[in-house]
């Protein structure tokens, strides 16, 4: 008989938010795989529990190598508990590889639900919560970050991001540039901790706030794009979007297709707008070709 893999949520700030079952699982697991064994030790001390099983590290640096070892433990009948530093494993944390490998091996996978920074920030933001998407961490390089943001510039669902205090000012400035300074957002800092702060306002205002220096882990929530019909998106705007994508390295054909899909218009309309803009740029103010006598 195979064992069972248990994914356990851990507090994102206040240790009192730990689910009651977490202590039971920590005490009863054959193996506890922790993202940071030192943080696990502090957590178990706060909960007043001592793991009876073996404790091993499971973090980004050794995830690939340790996954097969843990799968063999599971195949042999072990109960393996996976915990990360805060929140649910696999959500921008180690865990996905182990879950996928366990499922492929036919091992049962279950979870101890716990706190989530994504849902907590979403609920506190004051933005629509009926439809949302989680985008995790943005790329560190400025160009890649802008490209990723442009990909969701017309996303109508509320967006949720994780960010570090060292990059949040650059990230919010990039969001204000791509989404617009007036697009509403929320910067959620140190959730559930003593100095919890939720800053709400336009992205331009949030960028200025972050530029003054913020501490702690940040969850950024951004309002979705306004629900505009194709008729509301003029030819100039379509051309601007194509040019933005071309400047980011996309070929014109792919850029036109992506802009058409986002705007909800035929590709031919976008193509015609680009051609018209090109032709207009090749003519002088009176309609004559540039450079003509």
Q: What is the CATH number of the domain that holds 139?
A: 3.30.950.10
Q: Which of residues 199, 222, 245 is at a domain's end?
A: 222
Look over the chain and give the mean of its residue pLDDT values, rounded to a whole number: 91
pLDDT range class, residue 292, cuts 50, 70, 90: very low
pLDDT at site 293: 33
Would the pTM of this model clear 0.85, i.e. be above it? Answer: no
Q: Which of residues 222, 246, 273 is at a domain's end?
A: 222
For the residues 21-32, what does the mean pLDDT come to? 97
- In a domain? residue 286: no
- In a domain? residue 289: no
- In a domain? residue 287: no
The rounded distance, in Å, linking the Cα atoms of 117 and 122 is 8
Helix locations, 108-224, DSSP H? 117-125, 142-151, 168-179, 203-211
Same domain? 127 vs 147:
yes
Same domain? 267 vs 211:
no
- In a domain? residue 290: no
Alpha-carbon 177 to chain mean position: 19
Same domain? 15 vs 106:
yes
Give 205-238 pLDDT, tens digit per residue: 999 999 999 988 899 999 999 876 555 678 888 8
pLDDT at site 289: 45
pLDDT at position 287 over 90: no
- In a domain? residue 291: no
pLDDT at site 154: 83
For the residues 37-56, what does the mean pLDDT come to? 96
For the residues 253-264, what does the mean pLDDT come to? 84
pLDDT at position 66 over 90: yes
- What strands lie across the sheet with 132-137, from one edge to the other? 132-137, 158-163, 218-222, 184-189, 197-202
The rounded distance, in Å, linking the Cα atoms of 199 and 81 is 36
For residue 14, give its domain range: 4-115
Q: Which of residues 86, 115, 144 is at a domain's end?
A: 115
- In a domain? residue 199: yes
Could you give the C-alpha distances from 125 to 58, 135, 172, 216, 230, in angstroms and in order?
A: 32, 16, 15, 17, 29
- Say if CB 22 and CB 8 are below 8 A apart: yes
Give the percent of the chain with pLDDT over 90. Answer: 75
pLDDT at position 87 over 80: yes
- In a domain? residue 168: yes
The domain total for the chain is 3
pLDDT at site 232: 63
pLDDT at site 176: 95
Same domain? 177 vs 215:
yes
Same domain? 111 vs 131:
no
- In a domain? residue 74: yes
């Amino acid at each position: 008989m195979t064992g069972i893999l248990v994914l356990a949520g851990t507090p994102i700030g206040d240790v009192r938010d730990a689910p009651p079952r977490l202590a039971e699982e920590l005490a009863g697991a054959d193996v506890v795989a922790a993202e940071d064994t030192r943080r696990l030790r502090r957590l178990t001390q706060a909960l007043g529990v001592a793991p009876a099983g073996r404790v091993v590290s499971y973090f980004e640096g050794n995830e690939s190598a340790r996954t097969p070892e843990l799968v063999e433990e599971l195949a042999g009948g072990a109960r393996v508990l996976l915990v990360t530093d805060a929140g649910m494993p696999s959500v921008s944390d180690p865990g996905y590889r182990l879950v996928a490998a366990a499922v492929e091996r036919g091992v049962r996978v279950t979870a101890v639900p716990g706190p989530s920074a994504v849902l907590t920030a979403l609920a506190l933001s004051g933005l629509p919560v009926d439809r949302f998407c989680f985008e995790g961490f943005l790329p560190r390089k400025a160009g890649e970050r802008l490209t990723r943001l442009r990909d969701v510039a017309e996303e109508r669902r509320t967006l949720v991001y994780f960010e570090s205090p060292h990059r949040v000012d650059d990230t919010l400035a990039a969001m204000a540039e791509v989404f617009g300074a007036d697009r509403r957002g929320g910067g959620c800092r140190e959730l559930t901790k003593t100095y919890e702060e939720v800053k709400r306002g336009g992205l331009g205002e949030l960028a200025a706030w972050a530029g003054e220096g913020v501490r702690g882990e940040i969850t950024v929530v951004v309002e979705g794009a306004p629900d505009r019909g194709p008729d509301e998106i003029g030819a100039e705007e379509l051309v601007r979007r194509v040019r933005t994508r071309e400047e980011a390295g996309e070929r014109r054909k792919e850029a036109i297709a992506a802009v058409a899909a986002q705007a909800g218009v035929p590709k031919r309309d976008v193509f015609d707008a680009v051609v018209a803009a090109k032709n207009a740029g090749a003519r002088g103010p009176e309609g004559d070709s540039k450079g003509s006598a």
